[in-house]
Structure 1
Amino acid sequence: MVFYGKATNGRTGAAICVLLFAMLLAGCGSRPGPETLTTVAPPPGSKFVKIFVATNRAREEPDANIFTSNKAQSLNFAEFTIAVPPDHRAGRVEVAGIAGQSGFVVVGQRVLTSASFMDAIRRFEGGKGRQDVTVFVHGFNNSFQESLFRLAQVTADSGIDTPQVLFAWPSQARVSGYVADKEAVTFSRDYLAALLVGLAADANVRRIRLAGHSMGAWLTIETLRSLRLARRDDVIRRTEVALAAPDIDVEVFAQQLKVIGPLTPPMKILVAADDRALRASRLLSSSVARVGAIDVKDPRVQEAVAQARVQVIDISQLSSTDGLGHDRFVYLAGLYPKLAQQPALSNAGVFLLDAAGSLVTAPLQSTLLSGGAD
């Protein structure tokens, strides 16, 4: 079982420089600084979103929710209430104060312990009994506040009203920090596993919806692999998994899936063959194809998907705001109500979404679309 990518005619320094320059330009937009974590009054007409945080980033101060890129030796916990501006556009994270625009702001926060973190999740929205909990694992080159506001945006756009947990690992938040970030996600595996084990042990948590983006997808899969090897099948059985633009070597991924095995429901993988950020990652990784950029029209990919019993969704027709085609997943949040009504998306197989986010069966009409392998 191998997930194939398009062939590359070697690696050139010029190509790497061009793509890295494109990534730098894409990141030149306004990025929220630590000051955006200061609690302020909400603008009139705001929508409010609560985000819980579990992170192995170190706190700047013991009693403050400012998190650095340094590694902590134990999980830190927090709770934020975010105000989403009334003029918010789906898929975007508006930064307050830029060009006079309103933006995402923090209107409430608490420092939590492990015990108060779990208690806050149980009491979410007045305590509605057993409910699903989403855990989002951000990707490469993300500051803490960027990942916090991104999850707030996805939550607001989707309308989901269950607890949302950000697992924030210690990214350097720099394009030049790619290697350091890879080391940081390796460091973070046991911390994410501890979070999942804790959630799964709570009788009030029905299902864990685990989503990883980009390099965070690698962290997600490595954590699942370690849980399977540790025979924590009880945790994996209660976990649904989605990977967006996974920055994972295709051959490594195949080996990881052999250990993890098929999941119920099938693991979801969002891909786009024209993802320029993953193209840069490929060039930096000796031209080894990345899972998030596989070509779903390749018969070998379709065969591999059937064997692995996973669900691959091509989202290359969706819009992107980062100039690289790497953040298309954020637009799926607004499409969640429509996609949730698609029975086919409970099956393994290969699917395509059109620019409006509607499911397209052609040209991939095959047994894959009706459930994949036996």
Structure 2
Amino acid sequence: MSDLSGISRQIAFLLAVLLLVSACAGPPDNIIGLDSPSSSLSRLQGLKSREVYILTTRAASDDPALLFSGDRGEGLSLAKVRVTIPPGHKTGHIERAKSLPPDPRKDFTIVDPEVFATDNAFVADLRRKIRSQPKSGRDVLLFVHGFNTTLTDAIVRTAQFANDMNFSGVPVVFSWASKGKVLDYVYDLNSTLTARDRLVDGANLLDKASPTGFDLVAHSMGNFLTMEAIRQAAMQKRYNTTGKIRTVILASPDIDIDVFETQIRQLPRSQRKFYVLISHNDKALSFSRKIAGGVNRVGEADAERLAKLGVTVVDLTQIKDTNSLNHTKFADAPEVVQLIGFRLAEGNSLETRNENPGVVRNIARSIANITVSAVGDGQLIVAP
């Protein structure tokens, strides 16, 4: 009886924490297409902007300033926006407006939304964008967001990440139907399952636009969706048949470690060019583990167990970021986001193939006092 009482108290405590978090009002999401009447974007010195292309399984919203809602739509919707980044932006931060309208002098804004009526129109527009880039900037960065994320959250995170790592190519976000609420964990998890086919379809559309290569970055629960799509494509002998996927970065993966092992086994070791970012002080994953029967999530799992699967593991436990949950170090910790950008700019420098044994040591030199160990076919990197 005492055990049941202890479990009940733990569940009550966790629910209280969730309710407290959910009660905290965040920044407004209905900012898409809103211009500030007090600031002209064309005259604002130091303003940066990024076009972000959107692949989404969300249903259209009745509010045009949200564009798409947290409900699941039918098929795959396609759009693009322009995100402005304020002149005083700090690496690792997302400066969001606390009230409407956002002020581009100090806030991220999302303007010029365009929804494409057909796949062909989306591909043609993206192809024009890619061809307008210098040769060194014709890659695509595909970002798959995590749990508790609205479309607005996903868009500004994609723009911030691409900007802060100085990505020279074209950023694209795959936004699955997250409700954007902490109490909808199960809904979000089921939304990732419904989006698996659409992620494969979206990747095929991107390929039709003829980029030089792809870099794929997934975060949190988005890793579950990403790995399910990769597993599915591998079983159909369709994974990376063009060889354009250069790097897959799995940041803070919210995946049951046992499930991850079954997913990755569908890939031959030569195709496991994955960079897994973990942290043992990730509070979000700690909570996820508790509600998932106590099974470790990949983002907090034993590094050597992961490395033995043939992937490159980066332990970021000692790295500090701007988020108290330690769950977004890939984009919030300046040294991490800049390291990722530097290495992606070198083309295939993040690959872990045996014929390129110096790669990990080169990465290690980008962070002082880093520790590198070989474990089976994989690598383990520990950042100070």
- Which bracket does the TM-score occupy, shorter chain normalised? 0.7 to 0.9
- Further displaced range: 334-343 or 35-44: 334-343
Q: Secondary structure at the match of 2:212?
A: strand
- 1:170 Cα shift? 0.5
With structure 2 as the length reference, what TM-score do the two structures score?
A: 0.81
- 1:32 Cα shift? 3.5
Q: Secondary structure at the match of 2:322?
A: coil
Letter in 1 for 2:30: E
- Residue 6 of structure 1 corresponds to which residue in structure 2? none
- Residue 135 of structure 1 corresponds to which residue in structure 2? 142
Letter in 2 for 1:213: H
- Residue 256 of structure 2 corresponds to which residue in structure 1? 249
- Further displaced range: 216-225 or 130-139: 130-139
- 1:24 Cα shift? 5.7
> d(CA) in 1 for partners of 2:120 and 2:66?
17
Q: Mapping of 1:343-354 within 5 angstroms?
A: 345-347=350-352
- Residue 188 of structure 1 corresponds to which residue in structure 2? 195
Instruction: Provide Cα deviations, 1:21-42, integer angstroms capped at 9, x if missing partner.
Output: 5556566665333421123143
Contact (CA 8 Å) 1:34, 1:66: kept in 2 or not? no
Instruction: Provide Cα deviations, 1:275-319, integer angstroms capped at 9, x if missing partner.
Output: 1100100000000110000243xxx52xx513x211111112222
> d(CA) in 2 for partners of 1:342 and 1:286?
40
Q: Secondary structure at the match of 1:186?
A: helix
* Percent identity (aligned): 27
Higher relative contact order (CA 8 A, sep 6+): 1
Contact (CA 8 Å) 1:228, 1:236: kept in 2 or not? no
- 1:14 Cα shift? 3.7
- Shift in CA distance, 13/270, structure 1 to aligned 2, threshold 3 Å: farther
Contact (CA 8 Å) 1:170, 1:184: kept in 2 or not? yes
With structure 1 as the length reference, what TM-score do the two structures score?
A: 0.83
> d(CA) in 2 for partners of 1:86 and 1:370?
41
Q: Does 1:68 align with 2:63?
A: no
- 1:201 Cα shift? 4.2
Contact (CA 8 Å) 1:351, 1:369: kept in 2 or not? no
- Further displaced range: 169-178 or 309-318: 309-318
- Residue 31 of structure 2 corresponds to which residue in structure 1? 36
- Shift in CA distance, 127/161, structure 1 to aligned 2, threshold 3 Å: closer
Q: Mapping of 1:322-333 within 5 angstroms?
A: 322-330=323-331, 331=333, 332-333=336-337
- Shift in CA distance, 366/127, structure 1 to aligned 2, threshold 3 Å: closer
Contact (CA 8 Å) 1:54, 1:76: kept in 2 or not? yes
- Residue 51 of structure 1 corresponds to which residue in structure 2? 52
- 1:367 Cα shift? 6.0
- Further displaced range: 314-323 or 265-274: 314-323
> d(CA) in 2 for partners of 1:166 and 1:20?
31
- Further displaced range: 174-183 or 108-117: 108-117
- Shift in CA distance, 246/263, structure 1 to aligned 2, threshold 3 Å: farther
Contact (CA 8 Å) 2:311, 2:377: kept in 1 or not? no
> d(CA) in 2 for partners of 1:242 and 1:322?
20
Contact (CA 8 Å) 1:19, 1:276: kept in 2 or not? no
- Shift in CA distance, 279/62, structure 1 to aligned 2, threshold 3 Å: closer
Q: Secondary structure at the match of 1:279?
A: helix
Contact (CA 8 Å) 1:208, 1:238: kept in 2 or not? yes
Q: Secondary structure at the match of 1:316?
A: coil
> d(CA) in 2 for partners of 1:39 and 1:18?
40
- Residue 301 of structure 2 corresponds to which residue in structure 1? 294
Contact (CA 8 Å) 1:138, 1:213: kept in 2 or not? yes
- 1:87 Cα shift? 1.1
> d(CA) in 1 for partners of 2:45 and 2:123?
31
- Residue 109 of structure 2 corresponds to which residue in structure 1? 105
- Residue 120 of structure 2 corresponds to which residue in structure 1? 115
- 1:205 Cα shift? 2.0
- Residue 215 of structure 1 corresponds to which residue in structure 2? 221
> d(CA) in 2 for partners of 1:310 and 1:103?
38
> d(CA) in 1 for partners of 2:191 and 2:52?
23
> d(CA) in 2 for partners of 1:293 and 1:94?
28
Gaps of 5+ in 2: 1-5
- Residue 83 of structure 2 corresponds to which residue in structure 1? 82
- 1:47 Cα shift? 0.7
- 1:261 Cα shift? 2.8
- Shift in CA distance, 305/365, structure 1 to aligned 2, threshold 3 Å: closer
Q: Secondary structure at the match of 1:49?
A: strand
- Residue 129 of structure 2 corresponds to which residue in structure 1? 124
> d(CA) in 2 for partners of 1:228 and 1:291?
20
- Residue 291 of structure 2 corresponds to which residue in structure 1? 284
Gaps of 5+ in 1: 1-10
Q: Secondary structure at the match of 2:180?
A: coil
Instruction: Provide Cα deviations, 1:102-127, integer angstroms capped at 9, x if missing partner.
Output: 21002322122322221222122625
Instruction: Provide Cα deviations, 1:253-289, integer angstroms capped at 9, x if missing partner.
Output: 1111111233547211100011110010000000011
Instruction: Provide Cα deviations, 1:315-365, integer angstroms capped at 9, x if missing partner.
Output: 12222233111111113323335445699854379989x9x9716443x54
Contact (CA 8 Å) 1:344, 1:370: kept in 2 or not? no
- 1:156 Cα shift? 1.2
- Further displaced range: 17-26 or 319-328: 17-26
Contact (CA 8 Å) 2:33, 2:65: kept in 1 or not? no
Which of 305, 309, 323 matches 2:307? 305
Instruction: Provide Cα deviations, 1:186-243, integer angstroms capped at 9, x if missing partner.
Output: 01101101011222344x2222211110000000000001111122144474323111
Contact (CA 8 Å) 2:311, 2:378: kept in 1 or not? no
- 1:249 Cα shift? 0.6
